[in-house]
Chains A and B, each alone.
Chain A
Amino acid sequence: MKIKLEGVTKRFDDVVAVNDFSLEFEEGTLTALLGPSGCGKSTMLNMLSGILPVTEGKIYFDNDDVTDMPPQKRGVGLVFQNYALYPHMSVLDNICFPLEIQKVPKAERIEKAKEMARLVKIEQYLDRKPKELSGGQQQRVAIARALIKNPRLLLLDEPLSNLDARLRLEMREEIRRIQQETKVTTIFVTHDQEEAMSISDKIVLMKDGYLMQVDRPQALYDEPQKLFVANFLGNPPINNLEGKIKDGKFVLADDSASVKVDLKSAVEGEEVVLGIRAESVGVDDDADFEAIIKERFTMGKEELAILKLGNSELRIYLSSDFTHKPGEKVGFKLKNKGVFLFDKKSGERK
């Protein structure tokens, strides 16, 4: 099912939690709503499920306007952050519950529940109570319960946040697998960029209730349209240098150094932020800038260096043939990928 938002806005009294969202979620895709806490991503999810009414705008499921439709009629499956399993019911009863409400005959719903249990690989725990399961297993039960009624849309609220690191890796692969097996349109909320990058087809990146950028994960990383997007994605974080354009070059705000860059639409005298990803710097005789090597760290298979550029610092990855020692002054060249200029005031990409 395709989902379309038209100017969706949510206000709580004076606070705007979600501001004028217009976008589409394509059928059969896995989309992440990503952003720091308080960005409105959970509010967005709750409006999609119908738990929260929208203040303005329209929500369409395929061509149906569901804006005023109550949650139970929307045909959505929702997995809560704390799973919301009924503590007094067995795993089987929990999974069956949505069908029990729909008055599906008992034999049939048990049949269906077992099928779901197989899909999420918990068939051996059907008789247990939720509290006898691990976090990952509870998560699987919650997904099975959400899927049993063949939802048109599956919503997951911070599905991995209650799990430990190892289970988190396992469960995100599982969510991807289950989504691909069932082909159900899925939207999940997360604040973890790595989680979003690793499994989703598309990411909706949000901040303070505003839509920042919607794109494929790699595109979001490679072509951020806003400074916030560039900063939010990537580890180690992108290097930010504040300065202005002078004589066709980027000059640091305190005039302590300059960098030769592709200006794009930036004009002389404009105040900008230069974003340089750690992997986007190489050594070359045709140098774009010169910097002193301050320190070198070995981090597993990679090596990281802190460069001193004027009075600012840069963190970059080093190539294996790099031999210079701390204290030396070296000429560096910027690669085409991973170097961006942003307007300092608006944060828009140049």
Chain B
Amino acid sequence: MKKRFHFSPKKLLVYLCLIIGAIIMVFPFYWMLVSALKTTAEFNSYPPTWVPENWFNMENFKTAFSKAPFVTYFMNSVIVTISCVIVTGFTTILAAFAFSRLKFKGRDVIFSLLLSLMMVPFEMLVITNYETVTRLQMGDSLIVLIIPFISSIFYTYILRNFFLSIPDSLYYSARIDGASNWKYLWRIMVPIAKPSLVTIMLLNAISCWNSFLWTLLVINSDDFRTLPIGLYAFMTEGGSDFKLQMAASTFTVLPMIILFLFTRKYIVNGVARGGIKG
């Protein structure tokens, strides 16, 4: 009976509420896209039109791309995000392994110290980190965008907890067979922890892609701007044509939306387990 297409009044109400909620949450994205596709006349008409006349009107995109190097921004974002995910992933895996599997003096003390560092907001560290990278004359480069984030206590914490759930006997078994710690980590632990790792990497990719404050502080030249900063600069420097801003915004959010559509389960599970930091 349940399988058939049958609407009880209660179910209908649930659907109605769900649809209203969905409209509230999705409407800004719809509006972003629609505004980017409108002509000037359409855009200025009031009351606003709800659908664009031509769904394939690329004029605003073309104009925005000619006014600012969005392709460069995009490439910078891609490079920074991918390197950040790889580098952080690497340090996280190694550290989580040491904190979960290896025994050494002071392990638990160091780990609880790290956990207490976790509640320090990044905003508080920015001043010194800015000084550090400027002193090292690393200003205005893509490396600067990655380097403060090479170690994440939060991701290490999540991964360590997952590693701890892998039975000891797998470790002893592999070690008796002569596997080194290194081999055990990459051949056994990492493959088993794949779902957790993917989640961590996705969360990290999202926060790298959208990173704002740090990038705003350290990047001055147009060559090294990432999409969110490029977009912000475009807003302040490139004039107040909303249609162009919306085209650029659409371009900025699209990659993450596509990523989300394919990996929603991982991301949602990750958020449910610890939340996106910040």
Contact = CB atoms under 8 A, between A and B. Distances in A.
Direct contact of A and B (CB under 8 A): yes
Interface stretch (B71-79, B125-133, B174-182, B205-213): B174-182
Contact of A101 (B169, B172, B178, B191): B178
A166 interface: no
Contacts, number: 58
30 contacts: A49-B172, A49-B176, A51-B176, A71-B172, A71-B176, A72-B175, A72-B176, A72-B178, A72-B179, A78-B176, A80-B173, A81-B169, A82-B169, A84-B167, A84-B169, A84-B170, A84-B172, A84-B173, A86-B188, A86-B192, A87-B192, A88-B194, A89-B191, A97-B174, A97-B177, A97-B187, A98-B178, A101-B179, A145-B177, A149-B177
A158 to B, nearest CB: 12
B179 A80 contact: no
A76 interface: yes
Q: Do most interface residues of chain B lie in helix, strand or loop, or is the interface mixed?
A: helix
Q: Do most interface residues of chain A lie in helix, strand or loop, or is the interface mixed?
A: loop
Contact of A82 (B167, B174, B187, B191): B167
A71 B167 CA distance: 18
Q: How many B residues are at the interface, by size bracket?
A: 10 to 19
Interface in A60-100: 71-72, 74, 76-78, 80-84, 86-89, 97-98
Interface in B193-223: 194
A77 B187 CA distance: 20
A93 to B, nearest CB: 10
A87 B173 CA distance: 13
Q: How many A residues are at the interface, by size bracket?
A: 20 to 34
B192 A80 contact: no
A7 B39 CA distance: 91
Contact of B169 (A80, A87, A88, A102): A80
B125 to A, nearest CB: 38
Interface string B138-175: 00000000000000000000000000000101101111
Given A49-B172, A86-B174, 19 more contacts: A71-B172, A72-B175, A74-B176, A77-B176, A78-B173, A80-B169, A81-B169, A84-B173, A86-B192, A87-B192, A88-B188, A88-B194, A97-B174, A97-B179, A98-B178, A101-B174, A101-B177, A101-B178, A101-B183
